[in-house]
């Protein structure tokens, strides 16, 4: 992640997905931490054809808002909005790997890049 006033920082993340309606609805809990930063994000997302809509809430900073976007062939392109934040999010999923990029120009956290790999169970 890259704060607007600093250098890139390594961050560790865990995400848990709960498919509430296969192909239609999902909830997620994402927890990330670096040496100087902690984030705890939850979201509920609905899909109608390729269109996405939903809401999100980040509990460390008490921010929340809406999610809109599209999901097609393993590529999610979305916009998240709240009272004090707007960001573009791109998520690519391939097999057991997922990449997450968030860009929020003008925000204190201007860019986040996360690479996730599914744990073998």
The 10s digit of each residue's pLDDT in 12-22 is 888 888 988 88
Q: Which pLDDT belongs to residue 11?
A: 83
pLDDT tens figures, 47-98: 999 999 999 998 988 889 999 999 998 899 999 999 888 899 999 988 888 8
Please tell me the pTM assigned to this model: 0.80
Radius of gyration of the chain (CA): 14
Query: Average of pLDDT values for 16-37?
Result: 87
DSSP state of 62: T
């Amino acid at each position: 992640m890259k704060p607007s006033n600093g250098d890139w920082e390594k961050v560790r993340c865990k995400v848990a997905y709960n498919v509430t309606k296969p192909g239609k609805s999902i909830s997620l809990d994402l927890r990330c931490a670096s040496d100087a930063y902690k984030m705890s994000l939850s979201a509920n997302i609905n899909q109608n054809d390729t269109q996405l809509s939903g809401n999100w809430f980040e509990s460390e900073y008490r921010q929340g808002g809406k999610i809109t976007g599209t999901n097609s062939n393993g590529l999610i392109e979305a916009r998240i909005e709240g009272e004090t934040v707007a960001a573009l999010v791109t998520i690519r999923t391939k097999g057991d790997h997922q990449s997450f990029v968030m860009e929020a120009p003008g925000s204190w956290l201007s860019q986040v890049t996360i690479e996730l790999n599914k744990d073998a169970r």
